């Protein structure tokens, strides 16, 4: 059974940092690109960042470029999102997702507020 | 960036009725179009990929059609569990983008 389990969300002050993790199981993690998608309260879906299977290629939405860093550790089957200089507008549920197979985690809530 | 426009924003229907949802792309995405269903508090669930192929376990009442720039998701007869928000997604060009969603609500 495929599982994607996010962790690391929480309440952080503006300007602060968080690192999200996504533990993957049930498929060959290193073979697939992985993605972070966020959903602000009451809003739609936004692709925040993506990384190729090898980790050699990455994508960032303009809204997070220079502040967020995506990475992966295939030895641990884990995807990461390092989020720095957080802003109120980064408040959202963050999902990790494999679009090739349509697998999504349950999401982790990030709240940026003083 | 390819913009996906979904219509209508809200669809008010009764159980048993047919639902027709539209997704229009700002440029051709060939058939690299997927549909997701999302219920409150849950992650999106893949329904359709490659415009018309149902994902594993998706009931036959869900069907997708279209290619190029115009796509349709049809739910032939709404079940109570089908009332949700539906998103289209294109994987033709980077960045991958999503439509704004169509909410199917109970009339």
pLDDT in tens, A82-104: 999 999 999 999 999 999 999 99
Backbone angles phi, psi at B75, to 5 degrees: -110, 110
Report, as an integer, the average pLDDT of A31-48.
97
Do A45 and B98 make contact, defined as CB atoms within 8 angstroms?
yes
Report, as an integer, the average pLDDT of A24-47.
96
Q: What's the rounded Cα separation, in Å, for the pair B26 and A2? A: 34
- Other beta carbons within 10 angstroms of residue B74's beta carbon come to 14
Best mutation target among A35, A45, A52, A98 (most B Cβ atoms within 10 Å) is A45
pLDDT in tens, B21-56: 999 999 999 999 999 999 999 999 999 999 999 999
Q: Is A73:A80 a contact under the CB 8 Å cutoff? A: yes
The pLDDT assigned to B101 comes to: 98
Our CA-based measurement puts residue B61 at a distance from the nearest CA of chain A, in whole angstroms, of 19
- Other beta carbons within 10 angstroms of residue A7's beta carbon come to 13
Backbone angles phi, psi at A51, to 5 degrees: -145, 140
For chain A, say whether B46 makes contact (Cβ under 8 Å).
yes
The two most distant CA atoms of chain B are separated, in Å, by: 38
Backbone angles phi, psi at A30, to 5 degrees: -70, -10
Q: Give the end-to-end CA distance of chain A in Å, rounded to a whole number.
A: 40
């Amino acid at each position: 059974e495929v599982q994607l389990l996010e962790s690391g969300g929480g309440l952080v002050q503006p300007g602060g940092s968080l690192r999200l993790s996504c533990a993957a199981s049930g498929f060959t993690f290193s073979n697939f690109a992985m993605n972070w998608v966020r959903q602000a309260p009451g809003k739609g879906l936004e692709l925040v960042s993506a990384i190729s299977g090898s980790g050699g290629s990455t994508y960032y939405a303009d809204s997070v470029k220079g502040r967020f860093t995506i990475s992966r550790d295939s030895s641990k089957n884990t995807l990461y999102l390092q989020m720095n200089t957080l802003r109120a507008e980064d408040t959202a549920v963050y999902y990790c997702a494999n679009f090739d197979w349509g697998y999504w985690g349950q999401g982790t809530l990030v709240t940026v507020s003083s | 960036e390819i913009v996906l426009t979904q219509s209508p924003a809200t669809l008010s229907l009764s159980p048993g009725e047919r639902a027709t949802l539209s997704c229009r792309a700002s440029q051709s995405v060939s058939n690299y179009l997927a549909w997701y269903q999302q219920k409150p508090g849950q992650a999106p669930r893949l329904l359709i990929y490659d415009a018309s192929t149902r994902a594993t376990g998706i009931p036959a009442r869900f069907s997708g059609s279209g290619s190029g720039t115009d796509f349709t998701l049809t739910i032939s007869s709404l079940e109570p569990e089908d009332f949700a928000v539906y998103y289209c997604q294109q994987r033709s060009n980077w960045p991958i983008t999503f439509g704004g969603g169509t909410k199917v609500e109970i009339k």
